[in-house]
Structure 1
Amino acid sequence: MTTNLQRMLPISAAVALFATFATTAQADEVVRIGHVAPLTGGIAHLGKDNENGARLAIEEINKKGLVIGGQKVTLELDAQDDAADPRTATQVAQKLVDDKVLAVVGHLNSGTSIPASKIYSDAGIVQVSPSATNPVFTLQGFKTTYRIVATDAQQGPALANFAARTLKIKSVAIVDDSTAYGQGLASEFEKAARSLGINVLSHDATNDKAVDFRAILTKIKGENPEAIMYGGMDSTGGPFSKQARQLGVRAKVLGGDGVCNDNLADLAGEAADNVVCSVAGVAFEKMADGPVFLAKYQQRFGHPVEMYAPYSYDALYIIVDAMKRANSTDPAKILAAMPMTDHKGVTGETTFDAHGDLKHGVISLYTYKGGKKTLLDFVRL
C-alpha cells in the first residue's frame, strides 16, 4: 500500500523523517546535578565515598524512570574535584553554574562548602551538603544552603559531654588543623568542655598537610592531660594518634567525624584503640534501611561505605523529591520547594529549619576495638 507521504517523498527521505519524529517523541530531558568533593589528596577516599552515594541514587532513579511535567527526565551526575581546597572549590562551583546544573550535592568539607555557597546563592542553585558541619555554612543568610547532618555546635558539646560524664575526663589539651572544620569543631568542644568544668590546658594549631606532630605532642606530654581533643581529618588524625602513642602520651585522643572512619585504624595502627570520636549523624546500624543500603553499596562499588555515602544518597533523593513537588526542572522552582522537605530516607526523616539545618539531628559516638570502629552511644538532638 502506498501512503500519501510516500507519494510526496522519496523512500529514503520518508524513512529519515519518520526516524526524526520517533527520536523527538522518545527523547528524554537530560538534567545535570552537580557533586563536589575532594577526589585527590589525603581525604580522597572520603570524597569518592560521597560521590558514590550520589551516583548510586542517580542510577536507581534513572532505572525506575522519572517523569517531571509530563516529560521523561534522565539525571546525569556532574562530578567535580575540589581537592579540599577553598580556592579550587569556588572555581569548581562556578564551573557547575556554567554547566547549568539544577542543584549541587556537596561540598564535603566546611572549608570548601562555605566559600562555594555564595556562588550557588548568586546563581539561585540549591546546595545540599551531606557532610559540612561548621555552623557558619547555613548562617550566612543564603536561601540556597542546606545540610543533612548535625552541626559542630551540636557535635562539639556532645563529644565534650561524653568526655566529662562518661569518660570522667578532668583535663584536656586541644589541637586543631587550622581549617574551617577543625577550628570550628575544636572551638565548640572547648566552650562546652570549660562549661562542664574540664580544665583546658592548652589549644595548639597545626595544618591539614602536616605529617610530623612530635613537637606539639612533646609539649602536651609535659602538660599531662587526661585527653587530647584533635580537630581535623583522618589523614592527619591517624598519624597524630600514632605518634602520640610512640612518644608515650597516655592521654585518650578525642576527635570528630573527620577522623571517625575505618581508615583511621589503618593510619593510626594500634593507637586507634585509644581514640573516641563522634559522627554528626546516625550510625549505620541504627538506620532503618542501613543494612540494605550497605549491601547495595558493597555490590555496586566492591567495597564498604566509608562514612557519609548514605547522606549524599539521601541528599540526591531530597533534591529529586523537591523537583517532583515543584513538577519542574527549573532551579528556581526546585529552590522554592526545598523548605517544605519531609523526606524519609536511609538516614531517617529529613525536615529543615529556617536556616536549612536539620530539625532533628543525631550525634553518634564511637571507639575502636582491635582496629574496628565500634558504636558506644548516640545522642538525639
Structure 2
Amino acid sequence: MSFKTKMIPLAGAIAFAFAGSAAAQEMVVKIGHVGPVSGAIAHLGKDNENGAKMAIEELNAKGVMIGGKKVKFELQAEDDGGDPKQGTTVAQKLVDAKVNGVIGHLNSGTTIPASKIYNDAGIVQISPSATNPKYTQQGYKGAFRVVANDGQLGGTLGRYAVQINKAKKIAVIDDKTAYGEGVAAEFIKGAKAKGAEVVVQEHTTDKSTDFSAILTTIKAKNPDVIFFGGMDAVAGPMLRQMKALGITAKFMGGDGICTTDLVKLAGDGIGEGQVVCAEAGGVVDAQKKGMDDFKVAYKKKFGVEVQIYAPYVYDSVMVMVEAMKQANSAESAKYLPMLKKMKYKGVTGDIAFDDKGDIKDGTLTLFTYKAGKRELVQVVK
C-alpha cells in the first residue's frame, strides 16, 4: 500500500471531524407564526405570514450569532383559519414542536385562547395585530403586542366621529367576535363621551353576506355614522348593500376593515371619503422612510402590496431575535427579561413594552378611501 493511498482515508476523517465540529457550532431556532391563511380573511393571514418570511430570510442572510453559535432560523407557519378552536389546536402543535417563540395570532378571538397554551408552556408570544385589551390583561408574563389596543383605537375613532365628522346620531354593528365586539364597545365609549347618541346597535357574524334586514332598520334611524366592528371581508359586501339602499352615512371601522383589499371587496360602495378607518400603528417624519422602504421591498418580493400587518409581523420577529441576542440564549425564560426592557427601532416605529406587554405610546393612523385608493388622513396617539 502506497503512502498516498494511506492518506486518503486520513484526510477524509479530518474533513468529517471538521464538518461535525462546524455542525455542532450551528444552532437551529424555530419561530412559530400563526394566522388565518384559509377562509374569508386569508389575504390578511398571508400578509402576516409574508412579513415573518421576510424577517427570517433576512436574519439567515446576516448570519446571526447567539451565545457564540451561528443560528439557522426556521419558520414554522400554521393556519388557524380565524377560528378559536383551530387556533388552540395549532398552538399546541407549536408547543409540541418546541418552538423558541411565537408570532401571532392575527385575530383577538384566536390569540386570546391560544395565549393560555403558550403561557402554560412558558413560550413567549408576540401578537402583531390582536387588539382586544383582554389579551394582555390576563397576567401572562410572556404575552406582548406591537400595536395599540382597542381602547386606544376604538376610543380614538369614537372621538373622531363626533369632533371631525360632527356625528350626533350613530349606529353600531359588530360581528360577535372578540375583536369586533371589543372595538365596537370602545368606539361607543369614545363617541358617547363626546356627546353622540347611539340610536341603534345591531349584530351580525364574521361569515354573513346579507345585511338587508340590519341596514333597513338602521336606515330608518337616519344615523350620521355607521360603525362596524369586524373585518374587511364582511365590510365590503355591507358597503355595497348600503349603496343599494341609498344609505349615505359615513362608514367607520377599526384596523380589521382598513385594508387595501377593501376597495375590491366594496366595489362602488366604497364612495369618496365615505369610509374612515384606523390602523393600529403608524409612523411620522424620519421614521416614515423605513416603513416606505419595507413596503417597496415587500412588493418586489411578493408581487403584491402590503395589506396591513406585515410590517408589524416583521418587527415582531426582529424584536424577539434581538432579545435572544442580548440574552445569549434562544430559550424563552432567558430572553424574556430582555424583551420586557427592550427599546427597539423598527420599521413600524419605536418598540418598548409596558408592564402588561402592551406597546408604549402606541400610534394610530386614520385613513379614508378616495379615487379607489386608501389615503392617509393623519397619525395620532
TM over 0.5: yes
- Deviation string 1:25-54 (CA, Å, 9 cap, x unpaired) is 222211110000000001001011111111
* 1:22 and 2:18 matched: yes
- Corresponding residue number in structure 1 for 2:267: 269
- Corresponding residue number in structure 1 for 2:365: 364
Whether the 8 Å CA contact 1:125–1:335 is kept in 2: the answer is no
1:72 match: secondary structure:
strand
2:380 match: secondary structure:
strand
**Aligned partners of 2:340 and 2:218: how far apart in 1?**
46
**Aligned partners of 2:154 and 2:300: how far apart in 1?**
35
**Aligned partners of 2:66 and 2:377: how far apart in 1?**
44
Whether the 8 Å CA contact 2:131–2:148 is kept in 1: the answer is yes
Whether the 8 Å CA contact 1:228–1:252 is kept in 2: the answer is yes
Whether the 8 Å CA contact 1:270–1:370 is kept in 2: the answer is no
Unaligned runs of 5+ in 1: none
- Deviation string 1:286-324 (CA, Å, 9 cap, x unpaired) is 634012111111111111111110000000000000000
Whether the 8 Å CA contact 2:283–2:349 is kept in 1: the answer is no
Aligned length: 375
**Aligned partners of 1:330 and 1:174: how far apart in 2?**
45
**Aligned partners of 1:167 and 1:221: how far apart in 2?**
18
- Corresponding residue number in structure 2 for 1:343: 344
Please tell me the residue identity of whatever aligns with 1:131.
S
- Corresponding residue number in structure 2 for 1:223: 221
Pick the aligned partner of 1:187 from 172, 185, 188.
185
**Aligned partners of 1:95 and 1:130: how far apart in 2?**
20
Shift of 1:361: 0.6
- What are the within-5 Å matches in structure 2 for residues 1-381 of structure 1? 2=3, 11-12=8-9, 14-27=10-23, 28-273=26-271, 274-282=274-282, 287-380=288-381
Which consecutive aligned stretches of 4+ in structure 1 deviate over 2 angstroms post-superposition?
A: 14-20, 283-288
**Aligned partners of 2:136 and 2:229: how far apart in 1?**
20
Shift of 1:56: 0.3
Shift of 1:284: 8.6
Please tell me the residue identity of whatever aligns with 2:302.
F
Percent of residue pairs identical: 50
**Aligned partners of 1:360 and 1:17: how far apart in 2?**
58
2:166 match: secondary structure:
coil
**Aligned partners of 1:96 and 1:106: how far apart in 2?**
12
Whether the 8 Å CA contact 1:284–1:290 is kept in 2: the answer is no
| TM-score where L is the length of structure 1 | 0.95
Please tell me the residue identity of whatever aligns with 2:359.
L
- Deviation string 1:59-91 (CA, Å, 9 cap, x unpaired) is 011101111111111101000000000000001
| TM-score where L is the length of structure 2 | 0.95
